[in-house]
């Protein structure tokens, strides 16, 4: 039995192109974060194919701190 045989039929999977377009991530960043242990690991779905569980990615996204953008103040000349 292979790992991909254990995938639930209702499981929503994201391929790398989905991660890059929907979450604004680059492949290099995804794989670096996986290596650091700060991003969910992929699921092997074929001999040369991986995907990510959408639920795990959403949980990861919601756990991330929100960035605050400080409005730049202009100085009078």
What range does the domain containing 44 cover?
3-61
Look at residue 24 and tell me if it is in a domain.
Answer: yes
Per the structure, the count of domains in the chain is: 1
Look at residue 70 and tell me if it is in a domain.
Answer: no
Cα 32 from Cα 70, distance rounded (Å): 28
pLDDT at position 8 is: 58
Q: How confident is the model at residue 2 (pLDDT cuts 50, 70, 90)?
A: low
**Which positions ≥6 away from 15 have C-beta within 8 Å?**
49, 50, 51
Query: Are 20 and 27 spatial neighbours (Cβ–Cβ below 8 Å)?
Result: yes
**What's the pTM?**
0.70
Tens-digit pLDDT profile for residues 38-66: 999 999 999 999 999 999 999 999 998 87
């Amino acid at each position: 039995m292979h790992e991909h045989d254990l995938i639930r039929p209702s499981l929503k999977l994201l391929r790398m192109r989905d991660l890059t377009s929907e979450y604004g991530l680059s492949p290099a960043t995804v794989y670096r974060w996986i290596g650091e242990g700060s991003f969910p690991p992929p699921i092997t779905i074929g001999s040369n194919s991986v995907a990510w569980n959408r639920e795990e990615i959403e949980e990861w996204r919601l756990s991330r701190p929100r960035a605050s953008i400080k409005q730049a103040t202009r100085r009078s000349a």
